[in-house]
Each structure stands twice: as structure tokens, then as C-alpha cells.
A and B are shown apart, each in its own frame.
Chain A
């Protein structure tokens, strides 16, 4: 699976958009970009995923560059409850024994 690079931490003001970057320059054509987050001591929570096109759901938007070498997760209106570690993961779906490789992630602190 392709490796990802994320900034270790970032702060965000409550009510503002949070833009979380991720580099995955070695991603292959059949690998998806997934985002999960882990709020302190809780199980990881799925946020969103995509292959080529930009995606949006009730939690966030995912912008993937045309060459697919990087992506940005956007939390449109950050709240204090969005404080968490955010993980960008690339992996092939439909592969037996698929495991999520959680790297260091980005520790996001939403401030009042």
C-alpha cells in the first residue's frame, strides 16, 4: 500500500473550515484514499473516501488532485468535537486481509 505524509499537528478556530492535507505520491491506480479520525480513547471513525473524483458527505469534503498524488480533507465548520487525530490512508479495496495502516496522522485541535 502507498505511504502517506501528513503534518503532525494543526490548530483551527471553531466555526472556521479546517483543511487537512495529505501527500500520497506513490498511490497506484486501484488504491482509494480514505480518511478516518480517532477522538481520544475512542475507536477510529470513518469519515470519507474517494478514488478520483471529489467527494462530499454530511461530515466532510474530500478534494483529490488530478494526478492523485495528494488530497485535502475539508471540515467545513469545525466544532470543538472535531478535535481528534485525523488519518489519511490509501489502500486497495477488495483485497483479502486488507488492513488499515494508520500512520502518525494529523492531530487537530479546534480552539474556541
Chain B
């Protein structure tokens, strides 16, 4: 039981490049989330998916798109990366208890 896994762990992009962050969970959770954490700051919600087939914007969605591929997987795409998107990205999932379980994070640097 791996919990929440994220790939890649580290990524460096140039401004304007695109990439997709992958997240998967094996806990049969309905809800999944993407957060970003800037240095010294708390987490901010980017997008969430309350159930398979649905996605909704969070607090800071601009510059991102998401796909809930199936119940297990929730991906985050940066179409045209900007230096302001340099951050640590965390994926989380929750089940019927609403407790969120987090992945290890992806450290993204945009030059």
C-alpha cells in the first residue's frame, strides 16, 4: 500500500515549456487535490476533484489544468511554465472521513 505517489520528484523547466505532474493513490479515495507550497508559506489549493469525472478550481488555478484520468490518477498540467510557478507541488487524496493524505511532493523550478 504505497498511499499517494507523485512523479517526478524534481523538475527544472525553462519559461514557456510545458509539463505534466502525475499523482496516483491506491486507497480507493474519491477525492483528490493539488496544492502548491511556496518557500516559507502554507499550502494553497490549485484544483480538486471531488469524484471521478469532476474537477473544480481552487484558490490559485490560473496557469494550470487538471485531468482526473480515473479514480486512482489526477494529473496537473502546466501549459506554459512561468518563473512564478516555481514551487513545491503536493497531491493529496481523501475518502469518506475527509482526512487528506499527501504525497511526497514535486519540486519544480522554472528558469
A contact residues vs B (CB 8 Å cutoff): 34, 41-46, 49, 87, 93-94, 96-105
Given A42-B105, A43-B4: 20 more A-B contacts, CB < 8 Å: A41-B105, A43-B90, A44-B90, A44-B100, A45-B102, A46-B100, A46-B101, A93-B98, A96-B50, A97-B45, A97-B56, A97-B58, A98-B94, A99-B58, A100-B35, A100-B100, A101-B42, A103-B42, A104-B42, A105-B42
- Name the residue of chain A whose CB is nearest to the CB of B88: A41
CA separation between A55 and B80, bound complex, in Å? 46
B contact residues vs A (CB 8 Å cutoff): 4, 33, 35, 42-43, 45, 48, 50, 56, 58-59, 88, 90, 92, 94, 97-105
Residues of A within 8 A of B35 (CB): 100
Residues of A within 8 A of B43 (CB): 44, 100, 102
Query: A42–B104 contact, CB under 8 A?
Result: yes
Query: A43–B104 contact, CB under 8 A?
Result: yes
Q: How far is the CB of B75 from chain A (nearest CB, A)?
A: 17
Residues of A within 8 A of B59 (CB): 99
CA separation between A64 and B104, bound complex, in Å? 30
Query: B98–A44 contact, CB under 8 A?
Result: no
Q: How far is the CB of B15 from chain A (nearest CB, A)?
A: 25
- Nearest 6 A/B pairs, CB to CB: A102-B42, A43-B102, A93-B98, A99-B45, A44-B102, A102-B43
Residues of A within 8 A of B42 (CB): 87, 101-105
A-B contact pairs, 14 of them (CB 8 A): A34-B99, A43-B4, A43-B102, A44-B100, A46-B101, A93-B98, A96-B50, A97-B50, A98-B94, A100-B45, A100-B100, A101-B42, A102-B42, A105-B42
